[in-house]
Chain A
């Protein structure tokens, strides 16, 4: 039994020993909260790793399964007493699993699909514009147009039918605000994040660079993402990017950050809404990695007639929806249970609308409303904003 290589190389090989066994991480871990046994929580997995390093346990299929029953939500990292980058550690362990040919089948499928079709679902480029149904005229002029702003949809929004309205909503917002924007259309590829989650990080920078260079060639300076994981993958890849300086200088924004900018510039006008109580769910990556928490709240607050209430565990302390890092493909049942757990936090508030800014969260919560039998409307922040825009441009409650 050899020592896990990527951990050795990454400088994180002390971490299993550094762990103070305080349990902070385990008690916040969504997977542990469902599975209820220590080996599924971060503290337990570190203990197993230590035992592997001490040659007392095997890096086997069972341990690999535990490594992949993780949403890489980073909650463990933010509460760790001894500042262990646990999310990074789990990624490194996934690399080790890959090196040992232990990667679970659904993960292999996702990574192979990306290489084959440019998306993790094996759907293919030809379907990347199906979302534009009904607005083909507008979209045709925008694809590969020269512009300073680009809208990067990501695979979920482009390819999953229930999320198509998220893309259409962002287009409505940009049109309403008079933003000159561009789209890659069928040329858009996966951002590469699933490769990181699959333990194949070497493939990610190429994916990022391919998309980013195509946008840079169109003169893009600002990219708006409908998925925070795409944004975060770009941000971390760009630091190391060997691409042109145009690529490295791009401003990368989540939907709420971008919409908030439009509001600050007074470019959006809203119509009074019929007194809706809404709560905002912070997607893990937005809140914990990108530090985006104030912006979406500001956006919601600026829409007249929407009353915002908070769930427990917000912003950096948010709880995962259960479908990040391919868990929804690896163990859909567990993933759905985690979504239900988070939705219960909303169910004890008076909210009839749950807003978020991550397509996976939206899909997960949509399903959970059915399995829980709890009726709450789930909307992306772009959908909420697009639905609340005044019908005539320039009319309504123009924010200054």
Chain B
């Protein structure tokens, strides 16, 4: 695969392509501070970054990538931390941020259609000026793109009432990995001329044939992290903008908090519901100052309704909270926590680095999961927060403070992130996202049936696994030369050790003699050395052929062992 930037320039325009090393490095990062060791199992820098501005140029870009065996990764604004937008096998990064226009607002049908690269904040600003708003948006709204959140799926602000982002999607336009343009669901483009109509109709029919009604078409593109197609437009549900009434309450225990949260969800009260554990409130108190909430468990959110409904809602909340040993905080604190909803990572200042662990669990299980987390993380400094969805499932996000400059300790500490993901399984949960780092959990995440169908579809649209390779469906990692050298070393030492001690241990004197013979007359080298080199080569090959999951399956226990050994 050789990339010729000029050819890409011909497709998307010279100003919209760069192969500048520094730029490619920056676009190869997401929000996670990966330890250096990650670079051993993924080839972690794009060769080139392109920012297409039209669906057609994106389609040509995809076709070019497929023809030239060029891995291609869609990217919004890189605010996710699960590896979905980072390179695994170098290749081309397609940043969607220049496709950022609002396409059509349909007041009557309560929908809005936007291009994938618009940020949620920008969209909210436009909608709110027109008297409508969004049922769900992520707490990364200031930077996250509509395409990025829809492609990832998940909870956001508003999920307590309206569910996940996938439930708000009315239609999606995308270019599939094979270059076909599809429109699934109802993509409302409004009265303007629609050049893509015929092609999109044909593409959508093709996709329907392939999927055959086995999964909802929206689900092909929402929650699959850009592995099957690149989202270009999204039609979203809108809701009328009514009164927002923030509230916040504090508790002495997470059990009380969970109980109250469950009651609130059951009675369909809040629009948004977010919680922080006592570690989080204490650490925030010392950062931005709210001493009253020091060491408390905090449940904060907002009602969204008519003034009368909200008055009744607040009254109901007051009652529920006081009946369950909680304290309803005053309006000022409530407003403060509402404003803070867009700043969930403030706490990182105390790091300076964070090791994240993000999972889900039913609200009822929060106390047990929290206790297990405390036991598992021992004396690590960490804080927990999460959002609660309409179905009573909560995200449970553990931020473990660390310092990436202490390279060795930081690296070995990463097993904690994977440990929490496994812990969630014990509590009827699973990792919050699959993307790159949790493909091992894909079956639990999607369900066996759905992942099997998605895998089949992946084979149909992208047989050579070029669009966002290794994400969701797993695959072979691209090991760096250090790892390959490591593989060689391990293979060599193991073979040598086995052949050196094995024969005498087993009393095989003839085999021992053979191993110390010189098979090639002109080289004064014993057979054992040839065989050890062969063992090294096998080790190296194993490293090269290893899948990412195999690498993680070997690496995580090793990190855990080292961490225990060093008695963290």
Bound Cα distance A79, B143 (Å): 11
The contact of A18 among B25, B78, B121, B352, by CB within 8 Å, is B352
Question: Do B23 and A14 touch (CB < 8 A)?
Answer: no
Residues in A16-66 with C-beta less than 8 Å from chain B: 17-18, 20-24, 26-28, 36-39, 44, 47-48, 51, 57, 62
The contact of B354 among A14, A20, A27, A36, by CB within 8 Å, is A20
Question: Do A20 and B26 touch (CB < 8 A)?
Answer: no
Question: Do B346 and A82 touch (CB < 8 A)?
Answer: yes
Q: A21-B31, A22-B142 are in contact. Are A82 and B349 (CB under 8 A)?
A: yes
Residues in B391-435 with C-beta less than 8 Å from chain A: 403-405
Residues of A close to B201: CB separation below 8 A: none
Q: Which residue of A lies closest to B51 (CB)?
A: A36
Residues of B close to A57: CB separation below 8 A: 22
Question: Do B26 and A22 touch (CB < 8 A)?
Answer: no
Question: Do B142 and A83 touch (CB < 8 A)?
Answer: no
The contact of B345 among A39, A44, A82, by CB within 8 Å, is A82
Residues of B close to A82: CB separation below 8 A: 345-346, 348-349
Question: Do A23 and B79 touch (CB < 8 A)?
Answer: yes
The contact of B143 among A17, A22, A36, A44, by CB within 8 Å, is A22
Bound Cα distance A22, B344 (Å): 10
Question: Do B98 and A36 touch (CB < 8 A)?
Answer: yes
The contact of A48 among B26, B30, B98, by CB within 8 Å, is B26
Q: Is the interface of B mostly helix, strand, loop or mixed?
A: loop
Judged by a CB distance under 8 angstroms, whether B178 is at the interface is no
The contact of B22 among A20, A48, A83, by CB within 8 Å, is A48
Judged by a CB distance under 8 angstroms, whether A312 is at the interface is yes
Residues of B close to A47: CB separation below 8 A: 25-26, 29
Bound Cα distance A18, B140 (Å): 17
Chain B, interface residues (CB within 8 Å), range: 35 or more
Min CB gap B523→A, angstroms = 42
Residues in B302-354 with C-beta less than 8 Å from chain A: 342-346, 348-349, 351-354
Residues of A close to B387: CB separation below 8 A: none
Q: A27-B77, A83-B349 are in contact. Are A21 and B22 (CB under 8 A)?
A: no
Question: Do A20 and B404 touch (CB < 8 A)?
Answer: no
Q: A18-B348, A57-B22 are in contact. Are A27 and B353 (CB under 8 A)?
A: no
Residues of B close to A51: CB separation below 8 A: 22, 25
Residues of B close to A24: CB separation below 8 A: 142-143, 342
Min CB gap B23→A, angstroms = 5
Judged by a CB distance under 8 angstroms, whether B57 is at the interface is no
Question: Do B78 and A312 touch (CB < 8 A)?
Answer: no
Min CB gap B358→A, angstroms = 14
Bound Cα distance A250, B121 (Å): 42
Q: A18-B352, A22-B345, A27-B121 are in contact. Are A37 and B142 (CB under 8 A)?
A: no
Q: A18-B352, A81-B345 are in contact. Are A37 and B23 (CB under 8 A)?
A: yes
Min CB gap B114→A, angstroms = 16
Q: Which residue of A lies closest to B25 (CB)?
A: A51
Judged by a CB distance under 8 angstroms, whether B262 is at the interface is no
Chain A, interface residues (CB within 8 Å), range: 20 to 34
Question: Do A22 and B31 touch (CB < 8 A)?
Answer: yes
Bound Cα distance A79, B140 (Å): 12
Bound Cα distance A287, B405 (Å): 37
Min CB gap A179→B, angstroms = 40
Bound Cα distance A301, B403 (Å): 52
Min CB gap B81→A, angstroms = 8
Among A18, A22, A26, A81, which residue has the most Cβ atoms of chain B within 10 A? A22
Question: Do B404 and A17 touch (CB < 8 A)?
Answer: yes
Residues in B16-30 with C-beta less than 8 Å from chain A: 18, 20, 22-23, 25-27, 29-30
The contact of B348 among A20, A27, A36, by CB within 8 Å, is A20
Bound Cα distance A79, B346 (Å): 11
Q: A36-B51, A37-B18, A47-B29 are in contact. Are A20 and B23 (CB under 8 A)?
A: no
Bound Cα distance A28, B142 (Å): 9
Judged by a CB distance under 8 angstroms, whether B287 is at the interface is yes
Bound Cα distance A47, B23 (Å): 10
The contact of A21 among B18, B30, B142, B343, by CB within 8 Å, is B30
Residues of A close to B78: CB separation below 8 A: 21, 23
Min CB gap B145→A, angstroms = 10
Q: A18-B348, A38-B27, A82-B346 are in contact. Are A23 and B142 (CB under 8 A)?
A: yes
Chain A residues near B (Cβ < 8 Å):
14, 17-18, 20-24, 26-28, 36-39, 44, 47-48, 51, 57, 62, 79, 81-83, 312
The 6 closest A-B CB pairs, nearest first, are A23-B143, A17-B352, A20-B345, A18-B352, A21-B31, A82-B349
**What are some 14 contacts across the A-B interface (CB < 8 A)?**
A17-B352, A17-B403, A17-B404, A18-B348, A20-B345, A21-B78, A22-B143, A23-B142, A27-B77, A38-B23, A39-B26, A51-B25, A82-B345, A83-B288
**Given A20-B348, A81-B343, list of 20 further CB < 8 A pairs?**
A18-B348, A18-B349, A18-B352, A20-B345, A20-B354, A21-B29, A21-B30, A23-B77, A23-B78, A23-B79, A24-B342, A26-B77, A27-B77, A38-B23, A39-B23, A51-B25, A57-B22, A62-B22, A82-B345, A82-B348
